[in-house]
Amino acid sequence: MSIKRLALCRSQGRLFVLLRFAGQDVAALIEREGSQAFVHATTSGSRVPSLVLPVDHGRVLALCPSVSGYERELAVMVLPFLDGSSMDVVFASGGQRLGSIRLDSRVAKLESKINYKAKPALCALIRDAQRGECCGRYEIDAIRYLPADSGAVWRYEVTWAGDPQCAPEFQISDTHMNAIDVTVHVFESQVDVPQQDGCRVNKTFLSVEMPQDIRDFVAIVSDPTEQIQSGFCAMDGRLYNGMVDDSWNRMKDARADDAAYRRWFEQHRAKPGDLACQRVASAAFAYRPLVSIVVPCYKTDRVYLRELLDSVLAQSYDNWELLLMDASPEWDAVADLAAGAHDERVRRFGLPGNGGIVVNTNAGIEQAMGDYIAFLDHDDILEPDALFHYVAALNNAAEGERPQVLFCDEDMFQKTGEWGQPVFKTKLNVDLLYSHNCVTHFLMVEKALIDRIGTSPEDVAGAQDYDLTLRCLAAGARFEHVAHVLYHWRVHPGSTADGSADSKPYAIEAGRLALQRHFNALGVHGTVEETETPFVYRMRYALPEPSPLVSIVVPTKDHVETLDACVMSIAQKATYANYEIVLVENNSEAPETFAYYESLPERVAAASEGKGVARVVYWLGEFNYSQIINFGVEHAKGDYLLLLNNDTEVISPDFTEEMMGYLQRPDAGVVGAKLYFADHLVQHAGILVGVRGALAHANQDFSAKREGYLARAVRPGNFSAVTGACQMVRRDVFEQVGGYNEEFAVGFNDADFCLRVWEAGYRTIFTPYAELYHYEFTSRGREEANEEKLRRWKREQALFMQRWPEFFLTGDPWLGPNLSSESEYFSL
């Protein structure tokens, strides 16, 4: 029998080949034999998954009139595209060989390119042959590529119509069809999901950990019972590159693309007309403070200082003085440039010698005549509207409520004009500040406040700005973030702008000392430690003695295996010495669940070696997560409450101590942990409110070590909310705000709780040092998959927006006004 290849195209890792089987009613053959039994494809002797599908004869005839009269002889063959390989394809029916063809990947590439240009409609037609054909066969598609700390993670969606119990088996092979050893996690299974065409299908979502970041491979899903036909998809270089790019674009932050940032900056910086208007407006300010800009100078580069001086002289607010503290008078650069400015506001002070950065800075503070003192490094540059925006912020506040400490957004540069690596800040993020100096530039402090708290001591040299910021915080100062990029930080070998310890190694200990003194001043006990990252610190909070009781409240319904993994991970791993596990039983149905409850107290006591106890309380009402949590807390005995989902599992043995440590601070309200999916990618690292009109988990799907924007994924910090899957709170705070709001039965209750805690004057804190797995959606299906759940979620979303409208109008304060409310990755 003659088999003729009429057209070929390549799409989404697959080859689609339109074939004519001369003299055969191929549709009848496919129906009799099955779309997979009819075709046998191999490469280097190994079987390649493939299938043959009937085509829409009317549409083929419209596009190819030459096939008129033998439409029943047409079919589309689908195979994986195996780059660099050739495939031999044999067609058979009833044990009789009908014919064969050979496909070479290099030829297929070229032919596909030609066909897409010459016959685009036909290519679209044969590509569509497989679309929607999931009756009795698995359809599998790669939906996301995610980089891991080693290798890669691929997320897949498997769809089929038929028996929902036919869970697919998964395997991956290379282009020679040799099996690759991978780890497969079932994320979620959905049953009877309605489709737009009115059909209903089953879906399973898989996450696959690859040992290496492999470019070319084939993914196959099969049914061990053979009720459902196998399905496959493939990855080739072109598709791989596209998915990698999609992942990068989705997860990119504001520092990922300096060219994009420069375009953004040119759009947002002050133009000459803006500066002219600012000069008029600043003259009319009701409050026109004198701003003293202190610049310590030691062996200053003449070119750098010239650029700095020009940037100050260009300020649109005119009531300032520039104090150049010259610690190397033998170098004439400072004296010459100061004299050449011909501006009495530029004042040079010759120092008797180089007393170091702290002594030189303090000398400038002593000479300052201003109401506010601003600090500028001798090699950096200001935007011309920097002082205007700062003084505008002072004028926008009531007289007794004016900010005492101001700071702005900044960026970095090596060559003037080539700005990059922007640092878009938020209002003062205290817990991020306790990790590293996230305030930095352009620091401006009320002179009266400095007079009250004193200047920095010499032993914090190199971290004097960090020390001053921390002492202002300890003094209860009012901070203001001016949300404009107004400071350019020069990167060069003598600068710390690149975060390297090489230029000023002593500054690391200076910063640790400043932070330790801050906690000592607040009466917060613990030890500040250096970390592997220069200028980044970790506070180890001291815990009360004896260890107070922690009540771990776990709502649960059936799913005994999931619950047991959670409970026993606590009992076997947790190092905290005094806790109770309070299971809140909510209408379980399986008899084995209640049998499990009977044996649990003894098992937990034995596994925890007496550190923990377990008991069950029974909530008999319908499912309402908030009511269940409140009920569990009523029956809990501890002064510390750990609210925990039953689908979590402990990673960090000291997670309880880590979370409780923050709660020793009177300003701390709720503490959340870093949670991971089963594939070791981040599930939760803080919640942003208002992103895409709802809630978003910041930096979700990151690998464990990936830092994210300003290292927010790996350092403690403040967020508007943390997930209720793992929250710790003091009982007094929980009761003060009235517990969980029972109007939120399923969604938004954890975020609402955190926001009410903020409203009461406490901080919500994320710590990356408390780590657990969270097997999300294993105990409760995703709302999108269930119409009733989706309607309820929408109702609660509307209620949440009504309760907290400012987050949807002005954005999450811990995201910042210059970053996109459409991304959880801190993007422009």
Q: How many CB atoms lie within 10 A of CB 176?
A: 13
CATH number attached to the domain at 3-127: 2.60.40
Closest CA to 363 of 474, 458, 466: 458
Query: Cis omega (within 30 of 0) on the bond before 546?
Result: yes
Contact status, residue 691 vs residue 823, Cβ threshold 8 Å: yes
Lowest-confidence range among 83-97, 233-247, 461-475, 771-785? 771-785
Strands 726-730 and 14-21: unpaired
- The answer on pLDDT for 73 being more than 90 is no
Binned at pLDDT 50, 70 and 90, residue 784 comes out as: low
Helices H / strands E in the chain, number of each = 23, 39
Q: Evaluate whether the domain defined by 550-809 bears CATH number 3.40.50.720.
A: no
Most confident of 78-92, 269-283, 774-788: 269-283
Amino acid 521: pLDDT = 97
The residues, ordered by sequence, that sit 6+ positions from 723 with a Cβ below 8 Å of its Cβ are: 672, 675, 684, 687, 697, 750, 774
SS3 652: coil
Closest CA to 113 of 123, 101, 127: 123
pLDDT of res. 601: 96
pLDDT at 786 over 70: no
Report the pLDDT averaged over residues 371-389. 97
Helix axes 506-522, 464-474, angle to 10 degrees: 10
**Percent of all residues in the chain with a pLDDT value above 90, rounded to a whole number:** 78
Q: Is 610 helix (H, G, I), strand (E, B) or coil?
A: coil
Burial of 108 (C-beta count, 10 Å sphere; 0-12/13-18/19+): buried
Distance of CA 401 to the CA centre of its chain: 35
Contact of 675 with 723, CB cutoff 8 Å: yes
∠ at Cα 822 (817, 827), nearest 5°?
Answer: 65
Give the Cβ contact number of residue 93 at 10 Å.
18
Average pLDDT of the chain, as a whole number? 92
Tell me the residue type at 361: T
Q: Where in the chain is the domain with CATH 3.90.550.60?
A: 550-809
pLDDT confidence tier of residue 783, bands split at 50, 70 and 90: very low
Give per-residue pLDDT as tens, 81-128: 998 889 999 988 877 888 899 999 999 999 999 999 998 988 988 888
- CATH homologous superfamily of 139-251: Immunoglobulins (2.60.40.10)
493 pLDDT more than 80: no
CA distance 515 to 435: 9
Residue 629 has a pLDDT of 98
Distance of CA 102 to the CA centre of its chain: 47
Q: State phi, psi for 286 to the nearest 5 degrees.
A: -70, -35
For the cut 70, the answer to whether the pLDDT of residue 1 exceeds it is: no
Residue 508 tokens read as: 């690391």
Least confident piece of the model among 243-252, 684-693, 720-729, 788-797 = 788-797
Rounded-to-5 percentages of helix, strand, coil across the chain? 30, 30, 40
Residue 43, strand partner residues: 46
Q: Mean of the pLDDT values across residues 316-331? A: 95
| Beta strands per DSSP E along 591-734 | 612-619, 640-644, 648-650, 668-676, 682-684, 687-689, 695-697, 717-718, 726-730
Residue 229 DSSP one-character state: B
Within 437-588, strands assigned E span 444-446, 479-490, 526-530, 537-541, 550-556, 579-586
- Among 414-418, 478-482, 495-499, 686-690, which is the least confidently predicted range? 495-499
Bridge partners of residue 386, in order along the sequence: none
Question: CB–CB of 141/155 below 8 Å?
Answer: no
Q: Class of the 266-541 domain?
A: alpha beta
- pLDDT of residue 666 exceeding 70: yes
- Please write the tens of the pLDDT for every residue from 155-197: 999 999 888 888 899 999 999 999 999 999 998 888 888 877 7
Lowest mean pLDDT among 99-113, 120-134, 378-392, 721-735: 120-134
- pLDDT tens digits along 221-274: 999 888 888 899 999 988 999 999 999 999 999 999 999 999 999 999 999 999
60 against 449, higher pLDDT: 449
Q: What is the mean pLDDT of residues 409-414?
A: 97
Q: Which residues of the chain does CATH 3.90.550.10 include?
A: 266-541
Specify the pLDDT at position 781. 45
Higher pLDDT, 70 or 115: 115
> Residue 66 pLDDT more than 80?
no
346: which 2 tokens? 């530029």
**Closest by Cα among 199, 208, 231, 109 to 152:** 208
Helix spans in 475-576 (H) = 506-522, 560-573
Least confident range from 152-156, 180-184, 198-202, 610-614: namely: 198-202
pLDDT band at 780 (very low <50, low <70, confident <90, very high): very low
Contact 672, 757 (CB under 8 A): no
DSSP helix/strand/coil, 216: coil
Predicted confidence at residue 200, as pLDDT, reads 84
pLDDT bracket for residue 199 (50, 70, 90): confident
What whole-number distance in Å separates Cα of residue 365 and Cα of residue 745?
Answer: 57
Q: Is pLDDT at 778 greater than 90 in this prediction?
A: no
Highest mean pLDDT among 132-141, 192-201, 727-736: 727-736
Residue whose token pair is 């598609």 = 141
Residue 480, pLDDT above cutoff 70: yes
Q: How far apart are CA 646 and CA 775, in angstroms?
A: 9
Residues 297 and 354: their CA atoms lie apart, in Å, by 9
Residue 353's φ and ψ, nearest 5 degrees, are 180, 180
Token digits for 415?
A: 């060559």
The pLDDT of residue 503:
54
pLDDT in the model for residue 69 = 60
Burial of 800 per CB tally in 10 Å (0-12, 13-18, 19+): buried
On the 0-12 / 13-18 / 19+ scale of CB atoms within 10 A, 280 is exposed
| pLDDT (average), residues 23-36 | 75
Which 8-state DSSP code applies to residue 478?
P
Q: Which of 125, 121, 82 is nearest to 104 (CA)?
A: 82
User: Which pLDDT score is estimated for 562?
Assistant: 95
